[in-house]
Amino acid sequence: MAPVVILGLDVASAMGVCDWEVGNRPTFYTIKLGGDDEQGFDAWTRKCKRATRWIVDRLKASHVDQIIIEAPIEAGNTGNTNANTTAIKYLLLGALLGPIGLKSSVTVRGARVQTVRKHFIGHGNLKGPEAKRLVRNVCREIGWDPNNNDESDAAAVAHWRANELGLLVPDVKPFHRGKF
């Protein structure tokens, strides 16, 4: 059986990517989608186009089995997110579930941030800055080296999905609740 390749995505003004052939060490990168100050529908669509274009190019370059995107925060659970990030995620999910999802064998899923964090750091309800710090620390503890919080959040998303698929993943439970 061929290794499963998962793209974990954390999308905002920059898109953190965890490109992971499960069983090997993931590759991390950040795709700049636009400035934080770019607001409104036109800016959101430009950012979504950049993200979609990058994903299409990545799919052409080599095989991907799963694209897992950190889902938009649900109403009432806004935390530190903003309308700009939420709009980009919805637009990108639409693009992925529509044309890309229909024309390829790639599975596309959203992942609730609370569910991913509960799996990866043992807490699903921490405030953003504390949760991001712990996620990054767990990445380091399992030998992964994301360059920033966007990439470490993408790593947590990919790890969660691989675990859901029953694939052999680095054990994160010893590091739950900040036990380092």
Q: How far apart are CA 95 and CA 11, in angstroms?
A: 13
Give me the phi and psi of 125, to 5 degrees please: -125, 20
Domain boundaries, the chain: 5-178
Question: Closest Cα partner for 139 from 28, 51, 4, 2?
Answer: 28
Instruction: Give the pLDDT score at 38.
Output: 72
| Contact (Cβ atoms closer than 8 angstroms) between residue 44 and residue 88 | yes
Instruction: Give the pLDDT score at 128.
Output: 86
Extract the tokens encoding 81: 């997110």
* Residue 52: other Cβ atoms inside 10 A: 18
Instruction: Give the pLDDT score at 78.
Output: 47
Give pTM, 2 decimals. Answer: 0.86
| Contact (Cβ atoms closer than 8 angstroms) between residue 16 and residue 37 | no
Which amino acid, 172? V
Topology at the third CATH level for domain 5-178: Nucleotidyltransferase; domain 5 (3.30.420)
> Given the structure tokens 């090997």, which residue do they identify?
24
Mean pLDDT, contiguous 10-residue spans, the chain (180 residues)? 91 91 97 79 81 88 92 55 61 64 79 95 91 96 97 98 95 77
| Contact (Cβ atoms closer than 8 angstroms) between residue 12 and residue 85 | yes
| DSSP assignments along the chain, one per residue | -PPPEEEEEEESSEEEEEEEEBTB--EEEEEE---TT--HHHHHHHHHHHHHHHHHHHHHHS--SEEEEEPPPPTT--TT--HHHHHHHHHHHHHIIIIIHHSSS-EEEEE-HHHHHHHHHS-SS--HHHHHHHHHHHHHHTT---SSHHHHHHHHHHHHHHHHTT------GGGGGG--
